[in-house]
Amino acid sequence: ARALPLCAIALRSRPQGAAGARARAAGRMDSPRKRWPAERRSSEAERPAQARVRVAPLLLLCLAASGRAAAQAANAEQPQLSTDQLGQLVAYNLQAEDVRGNESFFSLFEFQDISGFDCQSRLVALLNWTATLREGVERFHTDILGTSGLYLQLLGQVPEENTWVWLVTGAQERVLQKVVGYWSRISALSLDQHQCIVQGVRDVLLDGAVRWKQLHQDFVEMQWNVFAFGAYRNARGPPENLVAANLWISTLREWLH
């Protein structure tokens, strides 16, 4: 049952931005341990096949969490990639993640800017921050889902591959930074002009803080299991660890929606 939210997110997500660029590099990059040439523009004829490659990882990750029967039913429709092709795609995706821009901190200039806002403008800023956080986490997690799906295929052929560890821990770190930055900005609004946070908005924020406390507690429990047993929750092996890490982010996405 816990896999269902992840499946829904994977099936309705549309890779955009960096994810689209990654898919266009299919079949032209080196292995994860080597460097790769610069991306070349895809031809129109290449794009339909690349679209199938892009969707397959999301479905595979969903199926891994949903159960063997569903996976067997859909395996026939998944494009079959060789070990080299999977390694090339994973390598390119990892490089794209490694050079992704850092999350923005709450700067002094930004605080001074909102200090001059009236109450209505502050509430509009709060709404914009919330929408930006939701959309940013969704786009980012869509990219992570795609790479995780490739790993599920690659690990079946190269079980000793361990770069998935960096992917999931880095993804969690980035999501945490996004949420903490969001709360920092809202805390500044409330500390500076608390009367502008009207009762209705205040109730939503209080409920959100309680929910975030629960989500963060779940994350800390996952960390505890890693320290104690070397695995997330009751996961057995890299594929289940990949699914467990993505399920926590998918739960966060549900809360943001």
Q: What pLDDT score does 206 carry?
A: 95
**Measured distance CA(100)–CA(175) in Å, rounded:** 13
Question: How would you label 32-60 residue by residue, b for 16+ Cβ within 10 Å and e otherwise?
Answer: beeeeeeeeebeeeeeeebeebbbbbbbb
Q: What pLDDT score does 45 carry?
A: 41
Q: Three-class SS of residue 42? A: coil
**CA dist 45 to 42, 134, 240, Å?**
8, 34, 36
**Sequential pLDDT tens for the chain (257 residues):** 344 444 444 444 444 444 444 444 444 334 444 334 334 334 444 434 443 344 444 544 554 444 443 344 444 455 677 888 888 899 999 999 999 988 888 999 999 999 889 999 999 999 999 999 999 999 999 999 999 999 999 998 999 999 999 999 999 999 999 999 999 999 999 999 999 999 999 999 999 999 999 999 999 999 999 999 999 988 888 999 999 999 999 999 998 88
Q: What pLDDT score does 211 carry?
A: 94
Q: What pLDDT score does 79 carry?
A: 62
**Measured distance CA(255)–CA(257) in Å, rounded:** 5
pTM above 0.85, yes or no: no
Note the helical H segments in 67-198: 68-74, 83-98, 108-115, 119-157, 164-192
Helix and strand element counts for the chain (H, E): 10, 0
- Whether the CB-CB separation of 238 and 164 falls below 8 Å is answered with yes
- Cβ count near 77 (within 10 Å): 9
Q: What pLDDT score does 185 carry?
A: 94
